[in-house]
Amino acid sequence: MNNSWQPKPGDKIFHPRRIKRYRLRRILGVPALFSAGYGNVGSSIYYALGIVALVAMGATPIVLAIAGLLFIFTALTYAEGTAMLPEAGGSASFARHGFNDLAGFVAGWALMLSYIVTISISAFTIPPYLGYFWEGLKIDPIAGTATSIGIVIFLMIINVIGVKETSFLNIGAAILDITTQVSLVIIGVILILLPNPSVLVQNMFAPGNWPTLPNFILGIALASIAYTGIETMSQLAEETKQPEKRVPRALIMMIFTVLVIFAGISLVSLSAMTPQELASEWSRDPVAGIAASLPIALIRDILKPLIAILAGTILLIATNAGIMGISRLAFSLGNHKLVPPILSRVHPRFKTPYISIILFSIVAILILSPGLFAANVFKNMGTLYAFGSLLAFMFAHASILILRARKPELPRPFKVGWNITIRGRELPISAILGLFATIIIWIIILVTQPYSRWVGIIWMVVGLITYYLYRRKQHMPLT
């Protein structure tokens, strides 16, 4: 009977789409995931140390350690969230599931700000490292900032065209990066710290070197910039094999590696330089400062160009990761109707989300442009980053807590331990502490830092107006 059936004119034969949402090839394993994450976090040591030293002075290692504790809390929150919801979007996705669309939008929009500032800061710190080859890049603000802007434009074009980047490049860069940083720590400890440990004590605790309490707290906020890669790893969950197992594993590996290397580098840097030197001459290229302070000329001569090239490459990869991260995030928010679809528009030929790449690269250039005239743009970028990322982290912690309360039945392949039970619901202490700490630090930044306060608020208000108009046009509720 079936064989005799013939379509008549006007009949439409419905072919269901072959594509299935979960027929996506996931190829990343723990090494590739760790490398992508470390490529981002590890790159931040090349500028975070200097930016923190600008305010925390001699207390830089202690401030980084306290922020490291916060980093552990946040990483654990992300590990649970990503294993539970392995999709692009990170904290925006957690907030959407935990609260509602509006919370998802606010978290995502804040995250976008931190991505944009990551692009700006990474690009801003490439020229000082390359200053080894041509000093003008380090000392001339116009040459330096113009180079940074050129780098962003170059990467913008590359990303619009959509040149392939392989995991192999990430893994190679991460291995080279960790090897160089560990070597620098070992050499620094043997040649600088151990022969005269009193210098470190002097540089940390002597009068004039210890920061005021507000600066100490601001230092903790700025130190959050040292831990920028958590989101990246979360964003990559959707293309990881068995993300529920591998993402937490890669995150834990990253926590351990990053904390050890950051502790070593910060201690060695304050053994090699006074906090004043670290916060002025070497603020944008602190790792080059360590290499330049080594007492043996031969090692110095090998390490200086090596670090210049390596830092330049790693920071270039980090800038690129920022551009790719923000375009993916914009696309993901667009898919969930949180931002206008124009941001998800794909180029007909290159198949890339060219409008979001171009738009957010332009915003990153605008953030960079005061660098052509002013010297304190570096600290401002740091506080602006903290404004966005802390807001996103806040939503991440709050969402994990709310999901424990509202949706306890959701499968949690990785569940954070050390819980307290409130009204029959298990709540992780790390997320509670993380939430309170991020709220307090965020408020401090809001109150004490006029630049990030106003730029951050304007960014959020522009976003909320766009969100309101878009949702209204779509006849969708705000929440």
Partner 1 sequence: MEFYKILVPVIGTDADEEAMKLACRLAKKNKAKIWAVYVIAVKRALPLDAEIESEIRTAEGILDHIEAVAEEQDCEVDTDLLQAREVAPSIVDEAVEREVDLILMGVTYERRFGQFSLGNVVPYVLKNAPCRVILYHQPTA
Q: Which parts of this chain interact with partner 1 (CB under 8 A)?
A: 15, 17-19, 21, 23-27, 87-88, 159, 162, 164-166, 238-239, 323-324, 327-328, 331-332, 335, 344, 346, 348, 350-353, 357
Count of other CB atoms within 10 angstroms of residue 462: 11
**CA proximity to 279, closest of 58, 42, 129, 45:** 58
Q: How far is CA 274 from the centre of its chain?
A: 28
Nearer to partner 1, 21 or 473 (CB): 21
Residue pair 264/256 in contact by the 8 Å Cβ criterion:
no
Nearer to partner 1, 132 or 354 (CB): 354
Cα dist from 148 to 48, 120, 315, 370, whole Å: 17, 8, 11, 12
Helix (H) or strand (E) holding 144: helix 141-161
CB of 167: closest distance to partner 1 in angstroms?
Answer: 9
Count of other CB atoms within 10 angstroms of residue 133: 12
Alpha helices (H) in 273-376, listed in sequence order = 275-279, 286-292, 297-335, 354-368
Residue pair 289/128 in contact by the 8 Å Cβ criterion:
no
Nearer to partner 1, 8 or 17 (CB): 17
In whole angstroms, what is the distance from residue 371 CA to residue 225 CA? Answer: 19
CB of 105: closest distance to partner 1 in angstroms?
Answer: 17
In whole angstroms, what is the distance from residue 433 CA to residue 424 CA? Answer: 20
CB of 295: closest distance to partner 1 in angstroms?
Answer: 43
Nearer to partner 1, 237 or 311 (CB): 237
**CA proximity to 291, closest of 319, 265, 322, 321:** 265
Nearer to partner 1, 283 or 327 (CB): 327
Contacts of 45 by beta carbon, 8 Å cutoff, 6+ apart: 181, 226, 261, 262, 265, 287
CB of 329: closest distance to partner 1 in angstroms?
Answer: 9
Nearer to partner 1, 8 or 164 (CB): 164
Residue pair 246/93 in contact by the 8 Å Cβ criterion:
no
CB of 236: closest distance to partner 1 in angstroms?
Answer: 9
Residue pair 83/90 in contact by the 8 Å Cβ criterion:
no
Nearer to partner 1, 15 or 475 (CB): 15
Nearer to partner 1, 52 or 343 (CB): 343
CB of 19: closest distance to partner 1 in angstroms?
Answer: 5
CB of 238: closest distance to partner 1 in angstroms?
Answer: 5
CB of 290: closest distance to partner 1 in angstroms?
Answer: 33
CB of 326: closest distance to partner 1 in angstroms?
Answer: 9
Contacts of 242 by beta carbon, 8 Å cutoff, 6+ apart: none
- Which amino acid belongs to residue 145? T
In whole angstroms, what is the distance from residue 316 CA to residue 187 CA? Answer: 26
Which tokens go with 438?
């991020």
Count of other CB atoms within 10 angstroms of residue 139: 11
Nearer to partner 1, 97 or 328 (CB): 328
